[in-house]
Structure 1
Amino acid sequence: MKAIICEAFGSPENLILGTLPDPKPGKSQVVIAVEVCGVSYPDLLILENKYQFKPELPYSPGGEVVGEIVELGENVDTLNVGDRVLALCRWGGLAEKVAVDSDRVFVLPHGISSEVAASSLYTYSTSFHALKDRAELKPGETVLVLGGAGGIGLAAIELAKIMGANVIAAASSDEKLALCKSKGADETINYESEDLKNRIKELTNGKGVDVIVDPVGGKYTEAALRGIAWKGRYLVVGFANGEIPKIPMNLPLLKGCAILGVFWGNFSEVEPEQNKSNMNQLYQWLIEGRITGHSAAVYELGEAKHALLSLEDRGNLTKGIVRVL
């Protein structure tokens, strides 16, 4: 089969288009003929050997695929050959076929396009798990979203609004903040030109925010935490900044707040029924138009390295998806 191949960790520039053997399903796996594959920041971190999981070389990047099941493992009885599915495979998606554990495969209903599913559902499922399961967000609370113009951030803005929250989006440029506004953010903060903690206090009349969604890490974490409300919840989603922050532990003590890890990948494996319920809710909101998905640039398989390189451009506001078949 055709595949994008990484032979050594490093830059996307080193990826090649080649051939790999067709995958065979394990006992609890399915093989999917890939139609489209979304690319996201974790794909870049894995490629650069900076992620918490490490594939064996050579491998194909790509963790979000939409396609058709063409083969079942012997223990799989909840899926069928011919099902059109979304699969969250961690890597292997930039290839004509991929084998995926069946508990990370979700049948797609009619009314959700392959492009929207591949470009959006990973970020929406992560953000929904963060707000619903970890923060237990309540209507009327205020949510601060760091990195508001990224995939996780835009999903968190839309979902928090649906869940009845007030939303403050923070990002590094006015163009990005305009995008956040278009997704429903009530207020915005440019954390490159404004004092983050002080603006949080100003926008909340000194109270602070109830929930913080942080997929960025780096230098803004402590400032945001200083702007959290009493009994607030700080959601650690990721470190797109590349820097894992060190938090003064007197802050959660003084704030009476909780710092909560958000690891959707492990949640989806450990609590598959809850995750399935979450996915069904997201499907419903997409079909109803209450959430809209992310805009995407479409690349062909031979152009996949450019989709990954685009992730390095922090000014890029469009997610990349790669058409395989």
Structure 2
Amino acid sequence: AACELGALMGLKVIACASSDEKIEFAKQHGAELGLNYATEDLKEGLKRITAGEGANIIFDPVGGKYAEAALRAIAWEGRFLVIGFAAGDIPKMPLNLALLKGCDIRGVFWGAWVKKNPAKNRANLEKLVQWAAEGKISSHVDRTFPLAQTAEALKVLGGRQAMGKVILKP
């Protein structure tokens, strides 16, 4: 839903993924452009797509080895949103990049934010439900597994095969 939300907010969404299929999926869900970092250098590709300016906002739910390249491709006074570490590795990045780019690095921990901002969270959820009811955002389910096949579901996630949610059913 990140691509859809960005598009709804009027942003030019550039999806970065490891395959053309994943980029096409992102385009079907709000991304305007795509960059396959398996075939093109992430930093150089983002610089090319943004005409040398860099990305204003980087939404990083993956972390890992591409986080530093993404930060290096951020625009002056951009914002780097740390959402999670799906790659499994917490990246170690040179903090001088924040100084050189004049950018913000912001951790986005939804669970803590909800506790500290219940009224804002309620308003956000109401807006999300409205957009879902209007068909403006979706939650694509890639696969559903019976609970007994949890190990197989985890292999799909670990192998980065899913495009959307993987559901376990009791």
Mapped to 2, the partners of 1:315 and 1:307 lie a distance apart of 10
Higher helix content, 1 or 2 = 2
Cα-to-partner distance string for 1:231-256 (whole Å, 9 max, x where unaligned): 10000011111111111111111111
Distance in 2 of aligned mates of 1:203 and 1:310 = 31
**Matched residue, 2:85:** 239
User: Which of 196, 200, 205 is the aligned partner of 2:51?
Assistant: 205
Alignment partner of 1:252 out of 98, 105, 111: 98
Give the deviation of 1:268 after TM superposition.
1.2
* Runs of at least 5 residues in structure 1 that lack an aligned partner in the other structure: 1-154
Aligned to 2:21: 175
Paired amino acid for 1:307: A
User: How many residues end up aligned between the 2 structures?
Assistant: 170
Displaced runs of 4+ in structure 1, greater than 4 A? none
Q: Distance in 1 between matches of 2:163 and 2:12?
A: 23
The residue identity in structure 1 corresponding to 2:113 is F
Ranked by relative contact order (alpha carbons within 8 Å, sequence separation 6 or more), the top structure is 1
Q: Distance in 2 between matches of 1:300 and 1:253?
A: 49
Deviation at 1:311, TM superposition (A): 1.7
Query: Quick one: which amino acid aligns to residue 163 of structure 1?
Result: M
Identity score, percent: 51
Partners of 2:22 and 2:163 within 8 A in 1: yes
Which residue number corresponds to residue 292 of structure 1?
A: 138
Q: Which residue of 1 aligns with 2:71?
A: 225
**Aligned 1:25-174 pairs, distance under 5 A:** 155-174=1-20
TM-score w.r.t. the length of structure 2 is: 0.93
RMSD over aligned Cα, in angstroms? 1.5
Give the TM-score normalised by the residue count of structure 1: 0.50
Q: Distance in 2 between matches of 1:202 and 1:235?
A: 21
- Distance in 1 separating the partners of 2:65 and 2:150: 31
Aligned partners of 2:142 and 2:163 also within 8 Å: no
Structure 2 unpaired stretches of 5+: none
